[in-house]
A and B are shown apart, each in its own frame.
Chain A
């Protein structure tokens, strides 16, 4: 699903966030991306979601070479990626329903279809009764689940999560991770950036470790082509 070929990312000012990163994340895999802060986890995710472009090397997502993607095609690529953020990035002046519906509205779904899919997504994350509430009235864990519902409502084949449990206690974190496992079981590829090593070890999924921009891939992942 995701392939990196000798990817370098140097930010203006000279900081090299990624150097010579190569790996392959097969379809329907769930994997963790770990490393100390500043190791390049976020940069790697940004390259996949086209927020940043590599300085050198090639990034392929779902067989599409992102290097060849023109600016105006970016939205259509992003619609196939569900993104989850540490700070949730919800719209706080909209209800839970409207937040989750946003990707569908953007894609131009019909009204009834939107309502059906939003309820299905909220049901999956266990927030069905709360669609009329505003995000501020929800707990941190619930807000993150709204973010997850928004990420999956479009049924994207790939989920990217950047420190999704960064602000949650261990029990809630585990709950969120189990939610990701459920999506993975129905065929969604999941890549989660986290520095919670205890949690990573407990769940036992393949791990990509970044250290100062260099990658050590787990033996369970295939060798990069």
Chain B
């Protein structure tokens, strides 16, 4: 085939030419959104909703985790000091505790500070004034390191703290932490299941859309095969079509989630203020957003690949 060789210089040199050819197809495959804007956008919107659901659930989880960040994902131990112990001695204990390897952070509150805080937050200021002396003990709030936050380690730490001579009482909200963690675990599992199902839905929607597209362009495929198009060349626009559906669906999902967050932010803020919390809703953010786009694009590519593999080879000129 000498003729083919003679023509070679007029063609792209690989791989630059292949990249350019891919790019050309990538842009050209956007054409479907231009030619049939309504149905393409409908499909994208369906994909967007299907993707927005797991993304939104994920975001709710993230926000609950943030709400729980008051506990920092770890437990806290409140070490109440015997009331007979002077503040200076208790402060010294706090400094000593800070040296323990299993403790990340120590906050010391004198009896006066504890009283002041109670007065400010509880609304019992009047009642407190009636008391002759401060009924509150000094308290050392201890936050274990993350490594020592798992239930068994924290129980051991709690036991050691109880043995200290100055300790009146060491209290751990372990039950609460346990419950929160197990609720979050269920939530996470649920998000994974729902995300898996909806990913499957996205895969099938895109696969079906591309299948219809292949059927609509049957004549074109036959003609291209007749004049020497390789399978890869014919496959390419459909694969990129799926990629675009995924990407645009993902972008719509991102938008929907951000709009929903925007709508909820105000009421949540007001509720948080009522609970004297600094909490505010977080949006998806750049990195998770890009991850969403990436997953959507991959689903699009996979869905169209399934359709292409099943239906394209069946079309041959006769």
A214 at the interface (CB under 8 A from B): no
Q: A110-B10, A110-B11, A113-B10 are in contact. Are A157 and B226 (CB under 8 A)?
A: no
A80 touches which of B1, B223, B229, B230 (Cβ 8 Å): B1
When the two chains form their complex, are residues B11 and A80 in contact, meaning their CB atoms are under 8 A apart? no
**Interface size grouping (class) on chain A:** 20 to 34
Task: Let me know if B4 is at the binding interface, CB within 8 A.
Answer: yes
- CB atoms of A106 and B224 under 8 A apart: yes
CB pair A75–B229 under 8 Å, yes or no, is yes
Query: With contacts A80-B4, A108-B12, A109-B10 known, is A51 near B227, CB below 8 A?
Result: no
1/0 contact string of B221-245 vs chain A (CB within 8 Å): 0111111111101000000000000
Q: How large is the interface on B (under 10, 10 to 19, 20 to 34, 35 or more residues)?
A: 20 to 34
Find chain A residues with CB under 8 A from B10 CB.
Answer: 109-110, 113
- Chain B nearest CB from A196 CB (Å) reads 23
Segment 67-115 of A: residues with Cβ below 8 Å from B: 72, 75-80, 83, 89-91, 102-103, 106-110, 113
Nearest B residue to A51 by beta-carbon distance? Answer: B317
Interface residue A41 (Cβ < 8 Å from any Cβ of B): no
Q: Residues of A contacting B220 with CB < 8 Å?
A: 91
Cα A75 to Cα B21 in complex, Å, equals 17
Q: Please state if A79 and B12 are interface contacts (CB–CB under 8 Å).
A: no
Is A62 touching B1 in the complex (CB atoms < 8 A)? yes
CB distance from A69 to the nearest CB of B (A): 12
A102 touches B224 (CB 8 A): yes
> A109 contacts B11, CB within 8 Å?
yes
How many whole Å from B183's CB to the nearest CB in chain A?
Answer: 56
| Beta-carbon nearest neighbor of A157 in chain B | B3
CA–CA, A89 and B225, complex, Å: 12
B84 within 8 A of A: no
Asked whether A78 and B12 contact (CB < 8 A) given A91-B220, A106-B233, A108-B21, the answer is no
Residues in chain B near residue A79, CB distance under 8 A: 4, 227-228
CB within 8 Å for A108 and B1 given contacts A89-B226, A102-B227, A103-B228: no
- Asked if B86 is at the interface (CB within 8 A of a chain A CB), the reply is no
**Which residue among A80, A83, A89, A107 has the maximum number of chain B CB atoms within 10 Å of its CB?**
A107
Which chain A positions have C-beta within 8 A of B230? Answer: 72, 75, 106
Beyond A77-B228, A107-B11, A110-B10, 8 additional pairs, beta carbon < 8 A: A72-B230, A75-B225, A75-B229, A78-B227, A83-B226, A91-B223, A154-B227, A157-B3
